[in-house]
Amino acid sequence: MTAAIRIEGLVKEYAGPPPVRALGGVDLEVMKGEVFGLLGPNGAGKTTTVGVCTTRVLPTAGRATVEGIDVVADPPRLRRSIGVVSQYNTLDRACTVRENLYYHCRYFGMTGAESAARADELLAQFQLTDRARSLPTQLSGGLAQRVQVARAIAHRPAVLFLDEPTAGLDPQSRLALWDLIEGMRDRGITVLLTTHYMDEADRLSDRVAIIDAGRVLVCDTPAALKRQVGAETVLELKLAGNADGLAETLARIPGVREAVPAEGGIRVMAASGEGLLPRVVEAAAPHGLRDVAVSEPTLETVFIQLTGKALRD
């Protein structure tokens, strides 16, 4: 497999004031045809990474190539190879949906006839034909996002960048967009997707890089990342009383790998073993156990283990 995106030692410092080191040496390789998730909390450096790859942000140091093209050396050539859906709605509000698609094609050098045909093809493909004459302001968030994705691939780029594509969308629109993104994979388009939703990264990505404070902490398939937690079960204990000594007691229960303080109680990582739950409950009862939530490790669990904090706080 060959790389579609290669990022090496990428550093970005915004001048400020105050100066901000948004990226502190990021290395990433995204393979051709892959859907790659960049997962991290707000301020982690996701948009800055995408910004460098899409020529919107100049790196302070390091290097990025997309489809073998250096992003700093040849921005115009690069832009023909990439599609971008930014974190915000960037549709032209003075133009209809169809015109947004049409003029994008014209901008990328297609003739009037080619652009019209491509716009109509995209409207049909994205089930937007009946909204062709709508203005962007008349669209729901989900529909507007669909138009942005259609526009982003109108010039048939090899690589598509989606920055927080479902942030702020209702659940139904999120699911519809997830289907669209899976369709990109089927068409062989490489996708770099940023998100702070662990379920989105998990569901869509062939591989995920977890980023925090401008650094990539881990990069692997979602399954491998969750295996790395080293537990099959996560128990979240909520306590009304204090947790003094409880973590130590819990850690001695067979199967328990780790017991750490968490919001309002204790988080227990364990191998799923017979009798585990009753023993944990028995140990926690004297501490005013109010609730137990049982789950499997998620990418959020991975993030918590790596950073000691939740993805969203």
Least distance to ligand ADP, CB of residue 34, Å: 20
Q: Which residue, 16 or 188, is less far from ligand ADP as judged by CB?
A: 16
**How far apart, in whole angstroms, are the C-alpha atoms of residue 58 and residue 240?**
51
Instruction: For residue 298, give the DSSP letter.
Output: -
Nearer to Mg ion, 30 or 237 (CB): 30
Amino acid of residue 211 = I
Query: Exposure pattern of 178-208 as b/e (b: 16+ CB <10 Å)?
Result: bebbeebbeeebbbbbbbbbbebbbebbebb
Site for Mg ion in 19-48 (CB under 5 A): 46-47
Q: List interacting residues with ligand ADP (CB under 6 A).
A: 14, 20, 22, 40, 42-48
C-beta of 12: minimal distance to ligand ADP in Å? 8
From the list ligand ADP, Mg ion, none, partner contacted by residue 40 (C-beta under 5 to 8 A by kind): ligand ADP
**According to DSSP H, which parts of 159-310 are helical?**
171-186, 198-204, 222-227, 246-251, 276-284, 299-307
Taking the complex as a whole, the smallest distance from the CB of residue 40 to ligand ADP amounts, in Å, to 5
Residue 22 interaction partner, one of ligand ADP, Mg ion, none, beta carbon < 5-8 Å per kind: ligand ADP
Q: Bridge-partner residues for 238, per DSSP?
A: 265, 291
Of 16 and 76, CB closest to ligand ADP: 16
Shorter beta-carbon distance to Mg ion: residue 9 or 43: 43
Q: Which is nearer to ligand ADP, 82 or 268 (CB)?
A: 82
Residue 298 binds to Mg ion (criterion: CB under 5 A) = no
Helix (H), strand (E) at residue 31: strand 20-31
Number of C-alpha atoms within 13 angstroms, CB side, residue 67? 19
Applying the rule CB under 5 A, the residues between 38 and 97 that interact with Mg ion are: 46-47
CB of 164 to ligand ADP, least distance (A): 7
If the CB atoms of residues 44 and 210 are measured against ligand ADP, the closer one turns out to be: 44
Least Cβ distance, residue 196 to ligand ADP (angstroms): 7
Neighbours of 144 (CB within 10 A): 20
List CB contacts of 113: < 8 A, sequence separation 6 or more: none
DSSP lists the bridge partners of residue 256 as 270
Contact residues toward Mg ion (CB under 5 A) are 46-47
